[in-house]
Amino acid sequence: MWRIENQILEGINHAHKGSYIRISLFSFDRMPLTDALIRAKKRGVRVQVILNNHQINGAMRKLKGALGTNRSRPSWYHICVGSCRAGYENLHTKMVLFGYTGSVRNVIMTGSFNFTGNAAVNQHNDLYTTWNKPNMYRDFLGLYRQLKADRKLSAARQHYIKRAGIWQLEVLPLPGWTVKNDPQMREMRKITCTGANGGTGINGRTVVRVGMHTISGKRGTWLAKKVRQLFAQGCNVRVWYSWADRGARNVFATRTARGYVPVHVAGYDTNYDGEIDLYGHHKVLLVSGNYAGDRSSAHIWTGSSNWGNAGLRGDEIILRLKGVSLFRDWNRNFDSIWYSHSYLAKYIPYRTSTRLRTSSAWDAAKPEPELTPPDDWEY
């Protein structure tokens, strides 16, 4: 439950005097993390924190009092009103950068997490941690400095891609976004559904897995249509989401010649008030098999960008990683949510594997309940 927070705390508690801790987050309310950052500052660590303005709470006020707001000093606290780089939507990039902690340097932590109790108790999240990769660290640091400036950039500078080795960092917003230039559409167009080999795919079919907090808006609809198309073409597809609007659900509820796309819902209303309060918070696309002409590829796309209009309009990142071992790690987590923390989308008359413990408990004849996100929905 607290594994991600504990890993970040370890990094903070072992940061060396004179080194930097740089944080960018959408949400922050954890007093233990505030106290750890204050202790780090007192022992000589330079602590810099950028947050979104959608909430102000005790942990944030305490951190502000300890760090100050002068961004010309070694340590500081700053709130971006909406986006830091674009002037609309929000700061939604989630990253923690350590210059030197424990025995390693150039540490990057990124994924879907926030520093909140809700993230630890009510959400499924992912955290990718890497170190001793100075080129990758340099590119994340370059983005951080743009966020720190809190100044709207020209459209030409808002969106860019950095690549090196196994990773690709795509920085958003994407001005003038359409179905033609959508980053995730661009990647899914490279998928061929047959011919997977080299220990990837399943029975020669390319595996496509989508684990998404939110699928909505016109963007969510065209991404859902692309996933359905890949299923129709023979890919081994599974999708779970926490909330999807009617447009995306209608896409998944449309039968293909192969049947219905296997879809689960990972959003629960545990107190029956009509709002989702227990849910998956990932923004993940996984592909194993025939991709971009490589029949034995394994790729992961993670980061902060949901499959909705806002996912291309604010300060967001999409991180692409590759490698069979990394794919297996994310796929293992996907399967855990698929089999144990989600249920069959009720609008699809589809029978999934008997390994799904709740499969017999859901009546496919009933429509999926019209659950809504709460007002403080952490997207």
Residue 305 in this model has a pLDDT that exceeds 80: yes
Token readout for 294 is 């490589």
pLDDT on residue 165: 85
Residue 169 in this model has a pLDDT that exceeds 90: yes
The span from the CA of 226 to the CA of 109, in Å, is 30
pLDDT on residue 352: 45
Residue 31 in this model has a pLDDT that exceeds 80: yes
Looking at domain 164-361, its CATH superfamily turns out to be Endonuclease Chain A (3.30.870.10)
Chain-centroid distance of CA 288 in Å reads 19
Residue 324 in this model has a pLDDT that exceeds 50: yes
User: Scanning the structure block, which residue is given the tokens 């030409």?
Assistant: 156
CA angle 330, 278, 26 (to 5 degrees): 70
Token readout for 133 is 């990769």
**Per-residue pLDDT reduced to its tens digit, 113-154:** 999 999 999 999 999 999 999 999 999 999 999 999 999 999
Q: Which residues, in sequence order, are CB contacts of 246 under 8 Å at separation 6+?
A: none
CB contact at 8 A, 310 and 223 = no
Domain residue spans in the chain? Answer: 3-153, 164-361
User: Scanning the structure block, which residue is given the tokens 């991709």?
Assistant: 291
Residue 366 in this model has a pLDDT that exceeds 50: no
pLDDT on residue 33: 98
CB contact at 8 A, 19 and 98 = yes
The span from the CA of 156 to the CA of 292, in Å, is 27
The reported pTM is 0.93
Which range (105-109, 163-167, 271-275) has the least confidence? 271-275
Q: Which residues, in sequence order, are CB contacts of 229 under 8 Å at separation 6+?
A: none
The span from the CA of 39 to the CA of 41, in Å, is 5
CA atoms 3, 273, 311, 208: torsion sign: positive
Q: What is the mean pLDDT of residues 178-186?
A: 98
Q: What is the mean pLDDT of residues 366-370?
A: 48
Nearest to 241 by CA among 284, 288, 303: 284
The span from the CA of 196 to the CA of 352, in Å, is 23
Which range (49-63, 89-103, 205-219, 348-362) has the least confidence? 348-362
More confident residue, 302 or 355: 302
pLDDT band at 371 (very low <50, low <70, confident <90, very high): low
Average per-residue pLDDT for the chain: 92
pLDDT band at 353 (very low <50, low <70, confident <90, very high): very low
**Per-residue pLDDT reduced to its tens digit, 129-140:** 999 999 999 999
Q: Is 58 helix (H, G, I), strand (E, B) or coil?
A: helix
Token readout for 41 is 């500052």
Output phi, psi for 65, to 5 deg: -65, -35
The span from the CA of 174 to the CA of 193, in Å, is 28
Are 3-153 and 164-361 the same fold in CATH?
A: yes
CB contact at 8 A, 46 and 67 = no
Q: How far from 155 is each of 112, 159, 324, CA to CA, in Å?
A: 25, 7, 36
The span from the CA of 112 to the CA of 100, in Å, is 23
Regarding the domain delimited by 3-153, which CATH topology (the fold level of the hierarchy) does it fall under? Answer: Endonuclease; Chain A (3.30.870)
